[in-house]
């Protein structure tokens, strides 16, 4: 694991307060975001499109100088714009509890919740919501405002090393569970991050593999689960997958991100 910046291209949202914008109180969220962005410098804009890993001193990972002192270390820190009331993103993993692989030596530990695939096996969306809410509360008490969960990929490949993070092989059940997990997370003021959009169904060699799936099959299976989850919960962020889909990396996939997610589904994030 390196301490270099990593990119979550679709994790591009603003938690905007913008007290310096006089007309912001009655403006829509989109308008407030536009007004706030118009006041940013280029350095401030560029500083919001990447995040850096927190230090894990127990394994020798030193703190990144871009992370202010006193900030709780975790999966990612993305700077805010304090002068415009935009807070930094303090991101933590994930679907089964607040993880801590050495980030915070003094943290006594968070609750280890059941795997997502077990929650999905209950066929009870209310349980998914309660788990999401509980994890978000444990995130918030540690100072985090973004939870990198829930996962909504289908368990379509039995050898996938992350199937325990996903709810089911059925898109309808997955969509219902992921939506309620998202609603639970966001009910306590933490941003949920629906992931990994889409066709990130194999963990081995995921940064280089190319998923070859025809668009019709993808729309009827995995993307349907994401669509249901988005329509029923409006997650504050969406994380794109790490692999390629039919030759193009998911975080730069025009059809997935622009044509479907934004234009067809109307996702604004």
Q: 199-233 in b/e burial notation, b at 16+ Cβ within 10 A?
A: bbbbbeebeebebebeeeebbebbbbbbbbbbebb
CATH match for 24-264 among 3.40.50.300, 3.20.20.300, 3.40.430.10, 2.60.120.10: 3.20.20.300
Closest CA to 120 of 244, 238, 7, 229: 229
Residue 114 neighbours by CB distance under 10 Å:
14
pLDDT tens readout for residues 128-154: 999 999 999 999 999 999 999 999 999
pLDDT in tens, 161-187: 999 999 999 999 999 999 999 999 999
Higher pLDDT, 4 or 248: 248
Give the rounded distance of the alpha carbon of 198 from its chain centre: 13
pLDDT exceeds 60 at position 16: no
Give helix 125-141 / helix 171-186 axis angle, nearest 10°. Answer: 40
Do residues 83 and 44 lie in contact, with contact meaning Cβ atoms separated by under 8 Å? no
**Tokens matching residue 253:** 């996939």
Distance separating alpha carbons of residues 68 and 88, to the nearest angstrom: 10
Q: Which residues contact 179 (CB under 8 A, 6 or more apart)?
A: 125, 228, 229, 230, 231, 232, 233
Q: Can you give the residue ranges of every domain in the chain?
A: 24-264
Structural contact between residues 44 and 50, judged by C-beta atoms closer than 8 angstroms: no
Q: What is the mean pLDDT of residues 30-45?
A: 94
pTM for the structure as a whole: 0.87
Residues in the chain, total: 269
Winning range, highest mean pLDDT, from 98-107, 122-131, 260-269? 122-131
pLDDT confidence tier of residue 26, bands split at 50, 70 and 90: low
The three-state secondary structure class of 219 is: helix
pLDDT digits 0-9 by tens, 48-58 = 888 998 887 77
Strand extents, DSSP E, the chain: 76-78, 89-92, 146-147, 191-197, 210-211, 237-240, 244-245, 248-249
Residue 203, pLDDT score: 86
């Amino acid at each position: 694991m390196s301490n270099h910046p990593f990119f979550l291209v679709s994790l591009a949202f603003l938690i905007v307060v913008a007290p310096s914008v006089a007309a912001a109180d009655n403006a829509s969220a989109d308008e407030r975001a536009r007004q706030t962005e118009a006041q940013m410098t280029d350095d401030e804009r560029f500083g919001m499109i990447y995040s850096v890993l927190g230090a894990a001193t127990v394994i020798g990972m030193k703190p990144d100088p871009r992370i202010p002192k006193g900030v709780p270390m975790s999966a990612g820190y993305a700077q805010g714009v304090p002068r415009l009331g935009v807070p930094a993103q303090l991101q933590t993993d994930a679907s089964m509890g607040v993880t801590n692989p050495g980030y915070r030596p003094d943290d006594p530990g968070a609750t280890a919740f059941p795997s997502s695939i077990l929650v999905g096996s209950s066929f009870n969306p209310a349980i998914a919501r309660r788990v999401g809410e509980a994890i978000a509360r444990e995130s918030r008490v540690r100072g985090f405002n973004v939870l990198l969960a829930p996962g909504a990929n289908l368990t379509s490949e039995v050898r996938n090393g992350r199937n325990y993070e996903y709810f089911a092989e059925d898109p309808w059940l997955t969509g219902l569970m992921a939506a309620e997990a998202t609603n639970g997370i966001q009910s306590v003021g933490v941003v949920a991050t629906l992931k990994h959009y889409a066709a990130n169904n194999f963990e081995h060699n995921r940064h280089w593999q190319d998923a070859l799936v025809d668009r019709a099959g993808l729309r009827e299976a995995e993307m349907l689960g994401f669509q249901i989850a988005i329509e029923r919960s409006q997650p504050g962020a969406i994380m794109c997958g790490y692999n390629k889909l039919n030759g193009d990396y998911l975080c730069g996939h025009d059809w997935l991100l622009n044509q479907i997610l934004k234009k067809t589904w109307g996702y604004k994030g």
